[in-house]
C-alpha cells in the first residue's frame, strides 16, 4: 500500500470592489477542500461559525515562497 499526500484546495470568498477606475478583488480563505476517495468530487470543510453566501472559488493550495534576498 502506498502513502499519498492529500492535495488541498483553498475555498475562497471573493469580494470585488472599485479602486478609482480599476476593479479589484480581495480574497478571504473560508475553508479547504479535498478530493473524495473516488476522485469524482470534493469534501469541503468551512471555517466554523462563518456566514457565507454568494460565490465561492476553489483553488489549488500553493504555499507562499519567501522572496526575501539573503
* Letter string b/e over residues 5-43, b meaning 16 or more CB atoms within 10 A of that residue's CB: eeeebbbbbeeeeeeeeeeeeeeeebbbbeeeeeeeeee
Q: Which of 8, 17, 15, 25 is nearest to 52 (CA)?
A: 15
Return per-residue pLDDT of the chain as tens, 70 residues. 445 567 899 999 999 999 999 999 999 999 999 999 998 999 999 999 888 888 889 998 888 887 665 5
Amino acid at each position: 500500500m502506498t502513502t499519498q499526500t492529500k492535495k488541498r484546495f483553498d475555498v475562497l470568498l471573493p469580494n470585488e470592489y472599485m479602486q478609482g477606475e480599476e476593479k479589484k478583488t480581495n480574497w478571504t480563505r473560508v475553508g479547504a477542500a479535498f478530493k473524495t476517495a473516488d476522485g469524482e468530487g470534493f469534501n469541503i470543510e468551512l471555517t466554523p461559525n462563518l456566514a457565507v453566501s454568494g460565490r465561492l472559488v476553489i483553488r489549488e493550495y500553493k504555499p507562499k515562497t519567501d522572496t526575501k534576498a539573503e
